[in-house]
Each structure stands twice: as C-alpha cells, then as structure tokens.
Amino acid sequence: MLLLLLFPPGAPAAPTALPAKETLDYTVEWRLVTAGKARVVWDASPQHGWQADLHLESTGLVSRLFKVNNDYASNMGPDLCASGSYLKAEEGNRHKETRVTFDAASHKAAYLEKDLDKKAVVAQQEIDIPPCVHDVLGALYALRTLNLQVGQSTKLPISDGKKSVMARVEAQQREDIKTPAGAFKTIRYEAFLFNDVLYRRYGRLHVWLTDDGRKLPVQIRVRLQFTIGTITLQLQKEEKT
C-alpha cells in the first residue's frame, strides 16, 4: 500500500535520492535585502516522466523597481533527459515566451522565443544535442542522483536550446549552512556554466546540497558582475510525499 501511495500506477519509478513529489520554497536575497521568492515543484508527469516547475517573483521594493514574475516548466523522461522546457517571463517592461523542444531521436533541440507584447518571434534556431541532455533545472535534479564526494568532479550535458555544452561540476567542500528552514550539513558544489560556457556573461554558480541521501538543495548562489551582484536562494520550507 505504501508503495502504491508513493508511486501510483502509471507513474515512473523515482531515480535514486529523488522523492516521488516535493515542493521547495525559497527566499531570494539580493544586495543584502529580501528581493523575492521562488517555488520549485517536482512531480511525475503522465506525458513525459518527470516535471519540475519553477515560479520566481520579485517582492517589496525590488518589485516596485523591477518587477519579475516568471514561470518555467521542465519536462524530462524517466531517465531525467530533457524533452522540453517552457518559460513565460515578465521582467520589467519585457514580456516573453520561450519554448525549447529536445528531440533525442534526431539529436536536435529547437528554440523559439516570442515577444508577447509585439506578438512577434524574437529568435528561432535549431542546434545539435547529445542523445541525453538536461536543461538547467533538470540538471539540478540529475546532480542530486550522483554521489560526488568532496574533491571529485563530473560533467553533465546541459543545453538552453541555444547552446549545448558538457558542463563541469565540482564537489568542493563540506559546509554548515543555516537557512529559514533550519541548519544543515552540506556539500558545496560549483557548476561551471558562466564565462562563455553555457552563458557568455562572467559569473559563478554554487549549489549547497545536504550531505545525506536526500541531497536537498538548501542554498543556491549566483555571483555576477558588480552591476548585478550576488543573488542567493535559501530554503524556507520543504514539503514532500
């Protein structure tokens, strides 16, 4: 009965270390102030295998200065290989929609970006990809299935639909992290996506996963150029089944 509750008929078996379903709420800090909130929902997808949804919105003073209200969906097969992604973004005065379709059979990814205000196509292209590739959100879940020890590294195939790379990920050191959700023993990882790897701009991306079988992402930090600064997501609440 317990197995039926965790894995209902028709749902794919969860990969190692990943729950059948979870919701993670984060606070977003920018320049030492609370700038927004983020929610990640992970669940089985009847059409694909797995789906991760990210909702990101600005709050308070930051929202009055530059409103952000983004919804992103990542669809994956049972093996966590990407099948598609969809972004609807409201950032300041910009309103756009971006759709990426990953075709493992043809080893192609199709990228389509539209301006929702002008109702016009902004960018459209097709690139080559390996048979299995992850979008950035899916790559976070793929990382959680690995057993990288401190000092070890690996490479993950990652694509945003405009570029496909083998991105290096390093397990760098153990750290004690405090977030609104509590205190955690973690391992800090660095994912090398910036500096003209997947993204052209200069920056660094660190992820703190709990040092246990869950590998729960309790903190994510992006350090960009001084004009943008550092953005930190800290776990506020976890809900899982």
Residue 228: pLDDT band with limits 50, 70, 90: confident
Say if 80 falls within a structural domain: yes
Q: 200: which 2 tokens? A: 């052209």
Structural domain range at position 181:
16-240
And the tokens for 147? 């057993």
Residue 9 has pLDDT above 70, yes or no: no
Cβ-proximal residues to 36 (8 Å cutoff; 6+ apart), any chain: 27, 28, 30, 56, 57, 58, 59, 62, 63, 68
Q: What is the pLDDT of residue 1?
A: 30
The pLDDT tens digits of the residues spanning 46-85 come to 677 999 999 999 998 888 888 999 999 999 999 999 999 9
The pLDDT tens digits of the residues spanning 162-189 come to 999 999 999 999 999 999 999 999 999 9
Q: Is 62 helix (H, G, I), strand (E, B) or coil?
A: helix
> Hunting for tokens 């950035």 — which residue is that?
136
CA distance to 4, 94, 155, 172, 225, per residue, from 139 (Å): 27, 27, 11, 18, 24
Rounded to 10 degrees, the C-alpha dihedral 152/157/162/163 comes to 60
Q: How far is CA 43 from CA 10, 20, 21, 48, 173, in A?
A: 13, 6, 5, 11, 30
Number of domains comprising the chain: 1
Q: pLDDT at residue 8 above 50?
A: no
Say how far apart CA 97 and CA 86 lie, in whole Å.
Answer: 7
- Judged by phi (left if over 0) then psi (alpha if -120 to 50, else beta), residue 216 lies in beta
Question: How many angstroms separate the CA atoms of 209 and 144, rounded?
Answer: 8
Q: Does position 216 have pLDDT exceeding 60, yes or no?
A: yes
Q: Rounded to 5 degrees, what angle do the CA atoms 46, 48, 53 make?
A: 85
Q: Which residue in this structure is represented by tokens 């389509």?
A: 112
Tokens of 196: 């003209």
Could you tell me if residue 3 is inside a domain? no
Is residue 160 a part of any domain in this protein? yes
Residue 34 has pLDDT above 60, yes or no: yes
Q: How far is CA 9 from the centre of its chain?
A: 27
State the chain's mean pLDDT as an integer. Answer: 91
Q: Is the pLDDT confidence value at 130 over 80?
A: yes
Asked if the structure places residue 11 within a domain, the reply is no
Q: What is the pLDDT of residue 62?
A: 86
Task: State the pLDDT at residue 46.
Answer: 67
Q: How far apart are CA 101 and CA 111, in angstroms?
A: 7
The residue with tokens 């003209």 is: 196
Please name the residue ranges forming H helices in the chain. 2-6, 60-65, 136-144
Query: 59 in a domain, yes or no?
Result: yes
CATH of the domain at 193: 2.50.20
Q: In angstroms, how far is CA 137 from the centroid of its own chain?
A: 2
Confidence tier at 114 by pLDDT (50, 70, 90): very high
Residue 4 lies in a domain: no
H-helix segments, 36-193 = 60-65, 136-144
Average pLDDT over residues 124-137: 97
**Domain annotation covers residue 6:** no
